[in-house]
């Protein structure tokens, strides 16, 4: 049986995410007297987990993996290549829940929150042609891990 190992270079990049990226992106959410309050989120919100009630026309949300998290975490799933939520969904979401301050960093936070979902996708679909996008995402995190937030490639929105 063949195993998949990414080696020490990925471990180093992951450590960079923990020590550099997370404090840079999540720290400001709690700066200047702001408080980051966890919210109950769906945790698996994708087009595959939605349906329409044919009698009422209301949207149904299925397949929850509910957890308490920053509300923007919910949007990370929307960056998986197979999820068909486009920018119009982000616009509608932000009408109800505006980006947290600093709003200028919400796209960077989106990429951070998408990491879990994209890594799961990489494992599930290792032979997929869409995997190149996942490696590009991981590359963008290697840039982040080295402390250069401004070079972040916007792969989701």
Determine how β-strand 67-69 pairs with β-strand 39-41.
antiparallel
Contact of 137 with 143, CB cutoff 8 Å: no
Contact of 140 with 111, CB cutoff 8 Å: yes
pLDDT of residue 153: 38
User: Which residues have CB under 8 Å from 126's CB, separation 6+?
Assistant: 4
Query: What domains are defined for the chain?
Result: 8-151 (3.90.1200.10)
Determine if the pTM surpasses 0.85.
no
pLDDT of residue 90: 86
User: Which value, in Å, is the radius of gyration of the alpha carbons in the chain?
Assistant: 17
Mean pLDDT per 10-residue run, the chain (157 residues)?
A: 59 80 91 93 87 93 92 87 80 92 89 81 67 60 55 44
């Amino acid at each position: 049986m063949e195993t998949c190992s990414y080696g020490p270079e990925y471990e180093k990049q992951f450590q960079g995410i923990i020590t550099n990226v997370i404090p840079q992106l999540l720290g400001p959410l709690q700066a200047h007297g702001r408080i980051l309050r966890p919210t109950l989120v769906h945790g698996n919100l994708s087009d595959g987990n939605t349906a329409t009630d044919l009698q009422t026309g209301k949207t149904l949300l299925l397949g929850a993996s509910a957890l308490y998290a920053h509300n923007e975490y919910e949007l990370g799933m929307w960056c998986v290549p197979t999820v068909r939520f486009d920018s119009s969904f982000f616009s509608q979401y932000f009408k109800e829940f505006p980006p947290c301050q600093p709003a200028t960093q919400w796209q960077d936070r989106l990429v951070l929150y998408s990491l879990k979902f994209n890594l799961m996708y990489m494992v599930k679909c290792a032979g997929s042609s869409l995997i190149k996008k996942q490696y590009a995402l991981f590359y963008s995190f290697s840039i982040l891990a080295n402390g250069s937030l401004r070079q972040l490639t916007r792969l989701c929105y």
